[in-house]
Structure 1
Amino acid sequence: MKPMLLVKRVLPACALALGLLFAGQQAAHAEDDGQLMASGSSIRDQASLQRGARLFFNYCVGCHSLKYVRYSRMADDLGLTEQQVMQNLNFTGAKFDEQVVSHMPADDAGKWFGKAPPDLSLEVSAKGSDWVYTYLNTFYLDPKSPIGWNNTTLPNAAMPFPLWELQGEQTAVTKPGSGEVEKLELAHPGKLTPEQYQQATRDLVNFLEYVSEPAALQRQHYGIWVLLFLVAFTMLAYLLKKEYWKDVH
């Protein structure tokens, strides 16, 4: 079989296989997690990553670590200087080249919340950006809960709602007779409008998506140049093939 004919036949088949695999993963997430809100996150949006980092270090790092990320690496990827990171994002006294580790004692956390808060380095990789985004938007007041909050995405979650002052307080509207949560209503508005809060949680999820695989930023940057090289190489190879085979009948 001629090389170009082989490429024309193999590439569409590979693309179809990858498409089916990706569709299958999406279907699995939809089946496991139910209807999720679309996060719309994009790690190419550096401004969003910076806003998400600010939210994480102001509201989350007190309990949650990012043990697979260093402050120095984060500064390089997010376009921040060492001074900006150390003054605005480092509240634990860590050094610039150290990992992001919460100072909450695990034993105390277990007493307060029932278990130590998990490290969030791989949270988006494990559950998907849409799941985390939906989770952050579906907290509601629950007087029956020991912590006063509950969540429709993860019922009986042990985590208190750290962003309540931004979103406000939601209450659950249940279906008559079943007690199942039908929808959530904003009973007491927070500092942000619903649209602003959704953007804030989108920024936070975007940052956590970056954290789950920091190399993805570099890979996307180099990927464009690799594709251009492959296109140029393919054209040269095709011209070379024509030159070699021009006298073959």
Structure 2
Amino acid sequence: MKKQFAALIFAILPVFAFAAGTGVHLDEVDIDLTDKTAMQDGLKTFANYCMGCHSAQYQRYERVATDLGIPEEVMLDNVVFSDAKIGDHMQIGMKPADAKVWFGAAPPDLTLVARVRGNDWLYTYMRSFYEDPARPYGVNNTVFPNVGMPHVLAPLQGRRVLGCKQVQVVEDGRKLFDPLTGTPITEEACDQMVVEPGTGTLTEAEYDEKIRNLVTFLAYSANPVKLESQRIGTYVLLFLAVFFVFAYLLKREYWKDVH
């Protein structure tokens, strides 16, 4: 029993070490797993920009199409770019051995990445690439320093470099707002990451929304039955509440003669 307990502790420790060791502020992202439009857009981004290197091998095209309300023919025409069938897993054509030669390591499967990393980490990571000529792919990442991945969404976000911009003033951990207008109080700060105007096809707000949709899809992919589990859980709790009433009445009936 002691050995099993020790094994459990050692299994949990890396999780806490990862959570405590990031040391990077993560922007919060609000996702809605009932928003099929957002998940469809996230799937589109994943298929067009991520699946060249990253698989989702624990998902099936058919399951995703059904859950997201996408007709099978639309799924095959716009998401499946190989000879795969609708019932196949979401694999990629690149072999792990080739990927190791080209990139130094095979790109990870992303089916469960939202459960491993967390939604906020993914949202911040995909918005934190910046130009770094010293890196092999010309980019680095403030969340994942010395990342070995190119910024595949750079055509959307644009060139992100060090510069100056207006940032909201924070005092004692609280963001400051003008008491009359309610607008944020800002000041100029340099050594900030800024996107050079005209280098991306999306505005900053549009790019943030695009990444939010991508994270929403990845969160769905990591736990496709979450909404169904919550729905069933509600009925289970209601059943237990009703059962408790009858159990209490039965207990009182049994014990009335004793007292």
TM bracket (short chain): 0.7 to 0.9
Deviation at 1:182, TM superposition (A): 4.5
Choose 227-236 or 124-133, whichever is displaced more: 227-236
Aligned to 1:110: 100
Q: Deviations over 1:177-206 (max 9, x none)?
A: xxxx95311113422221111111111111
Q: Is the 8 A contact 1:72 1:97 kept in 2?
A: yes
Is 2:177 the partner of 1:187?
no
1:188 partner SS: coil
CA deviation digits over 1:153-199, x for unaligned, max 9?
Answer: 1111111111111111110359xxxxxx9531111342222111111
**Could you say what secondary structure the match of 1:62 adopts?**
coil
Question: Hey, which of these two has a bigger chunk of helix by percent?
Answer: 1
1:22-171 mapped onto 2 (5 Å cutoff) = 29=19, 31-171=21-161
Q: Within 1, Cα distance between the matches of 2:124 and 2:77?
A: 31
**Structure 1 CA distance, aligned partners of 2:42 and 2:54?**
15
Q: Which residue of 2 aligns with 1:177?
A: none
Distance 1:194-1:30 versus aligned 2 partners, 3 A rule: farther
**In the alignment, structure 1 residue 245 sits paired with structure 2 residue 219:** no
Other-structure match for 1:210: 220
Q: How much does 1:31 deviate?
A: 4.7
Alpha-carbon distance in 2 for matches of 1:238, 1:64: 55
Shift of 1:230: 1.8
TM-score (norm 2): 0.76
1:30–1:36 contact (8 Å) kept in structure 2: no
Q: Which amino acid aligns with 2:111?
A: S
Aligned residues: 219
Equivalents in 1 of 2:31, 2:253: separation in Å? 48
Instruction: Provide the C-alpha distance between the structure 1 equivalents of 2:18 and 2:101, rounded to a whole number of angstroms.
Output: 35
For residue 133 of structure 1, report the CA deviation from its aligned partner.
Answer: 1.0
Aligned mates of 2:231, 2:16 — CA distance in 1: 25
Is structure 2 residue 212 aligned with structure 1 residue 222?
no
Structure 1 residue aligned with 2:183: none
SS in 1 for 2:115: helix
* Structure 1: gaps of 5 or more residues: 1-24, 175-180
Q: C-alpha separation between the residues in 2 aligned to 1:63 and 1:79?
A: 26
RMSD: 2.4
Q: Measure the CA separation in 1 of the matches of 2:234 and 2:17.
A: 29
Could you say which residue in structure 1 is the equivalent of 2:162?
172
Report how far residue 26 of structure 1 moved: 8.5
Q: Distance in 2 between matches of 1:160 and 1:84?
A: 29
Q: Which residue of 2 aligns with 1:231?
A: 241
Residue 19 of structure 1 is matched in structure 2 by: none
Deviations 1:74-119 (A, max 9, x none): 1222222222221221112211111001112334333332222111
d(CA) in 2 for partners of 1:165 and 1:95?
30
Q: Residues 33 and 131 of structure 1 are in contact (CA less than 8 Å); yes or no, is this contact kept in structure 2?
A: no
- Percent of aligned positions that are identical: 43
